[in-house]
Amino acid sequence: MSVSSPRPSAALPYLLLLPSVAYLVIFFASPMVQAFGLAFTSTTGEWGLTSLSAMVSDDRFWPAVWTTLILLVVLLPIQLALALAMSMIITGRLRGRGFWLYVFLLPLGVSELGAGILWYSIFVEQGWLNTVLQGVGLIDRPVIWLDYREPWRVIGTIVVAEAWRSTSLLVIILVGGLRQIPKDYLEAADVFHAGPWQRMRHVVLPLLRPTIRTAMIVRVVLAFEVFATVIALGGTATDTLATQANRAYTEFQDAHLASAYGLVILVVSLVAVGLVLAALPARRERGE
């Protein structure tokens, strides 16, 4: 952050933020408050915790909470590693960087719904994955990957699909961060006896820390919203908070229940963001 030009009036930055804040108040905050109102009223319109307690006492609530958290905990490191690898390739010395860049960004053009349809056709029993595995002789009959009796298998498929779909955004963020690391630092590491892994661990990652932090927060915030891929691959047997919120609207037509789930999702994501911030505190030793 560069410190500024000739002494601005103290109010100026706030004035500049005003339009965006006002916009988000209108289009985010106010419907959100409405939704909170719905969460704290019952279907018959009385204030209270009816909707919240109905949500918590639902058989699917706690499994949904756990699946949501497990998905996040498994996905986050995998996606970060993938995004880092992709970003290193894009910013590295290989030829054809434009091509790699393009390929790694392609999933940005695929919507959640589309990704769900696509990965379902891959993992379904008579789908692409089994075709390929059987073609190379790894299996001799189709495997049912989307078998709800094997929850880890189903979660695995969701992780793969989500990693495929949503890593590009992290790549954009990380490439930006990598490009801001002066080349000197990397060369200094090279000269001072650091091998590729040491360079990664002792120089690149620490310098990339603010960017990684941003990437993690973005990912955490968005992760709790994902439902289309989960529904496509997990069907009705795998629940997350987001699929439950969605189901509350579409199937049970209960706006109160859905809002209650929305509230839980908000709280859980904020807690998760807090944890990320606590785990990776911003240090400010980087003034040049």
Residues 195-224 within binding reach of another protein (CB under 8 A): 195-196, 198, 202-203, 206-207, 209-211, 213-214, 217-218, 221-222, 224
Q: State which of residues 135, 137, 278, 279 lies at the interface with another protein (CB under 8 A).
A: 135
Record the tokens describing residue 176, joined without a space: 């930006």
- DSSP string across 71-127: HHHHHHHHHHHHHHHHHHHHHSS-S-HHHHHHHHHGGGGS-HHHHHHHHHHHHSTTS
For 47, phi then psi, to 5°, come to: -70, 145
Does position 72 bind another protein by CB under 8 A? no
Record the tokens describing residue 122, joined without a space: 């891959």
Q: Which is nearer to another protein, 156 or 176 (CB)?
A: 176
Does position 45 bind another protein by CB under 8 A? yes
Residue 110's region, left for phi above 0, alpha for psi from -120 to 50, else beta, is beta
Does position 48 bind another protein by CB under 8 A? no
Smallest distance from another protein to CB 70, Å: 18
Q: State which of residues 49, 70, 80, 82 lies at the interface with another protein (CB under 8 A).
A: 82
Q: State which of residues 90, 155, 158, 159 lies at the interface with another protein (CB under 8 A).
A: 90
- Give, as ranges, the residues between 237 and 266 that touch another protein (CB under 8 A): 237, 242, 245-247, 249-256, 258-259, 261-262, 265-266
For 41, phi then psi, to 5°, come to: -125, 160
